[in-house]
Amino acid sequence: MTVQDLRQRARLIVDATGRHIMPPWLPESNYGAFAGERRLRSEEVELIARWLKGGMPEGDPPDRRAPPA
């Protein structure tokens, strides 16, 4: 996925992470912690939303990984 792909889907990403439906994780949160949980913390959800509102700046080119083949 490229930065342009993310920009096209940014509002969907913010909505899905804000409602905690992404990343998918079926166990209910009321039953304790699980090893390997894939829930986003509130701080992470807020970071994604701030990135969208901040114009979705790209990272530094040296920090980017090559896309998978």
C-alpha closest to that of 22 among 4, 43, 38, 10: 38
Specify the pLDDT at position 38: 78
Q: How many CA atoms lie within 13 A of 12 on its CB side?
A: 5
C-alpha closest to that of 3 among 58, 64, 49: 58
Residue 23: is the preceding peptide bond cis (ω within 30°)? yes
Specify the pLDDT at position 63: 67
Specify the pLDDT at position 44: 92
Q: How many CA atoms lie within 13 A of 27 on its CB side?
A: 11
Per-residue pLDDT tens over the stretch 9-45: 988 999 999 988 887 777 776 777 778 777 888 999 9
More confident position, 10 or 66: 10
Question: What are the boundaries of each domain within the chain?
Answer: 3-62
Report field, pTM of the whole predicted structure over 0.75: no
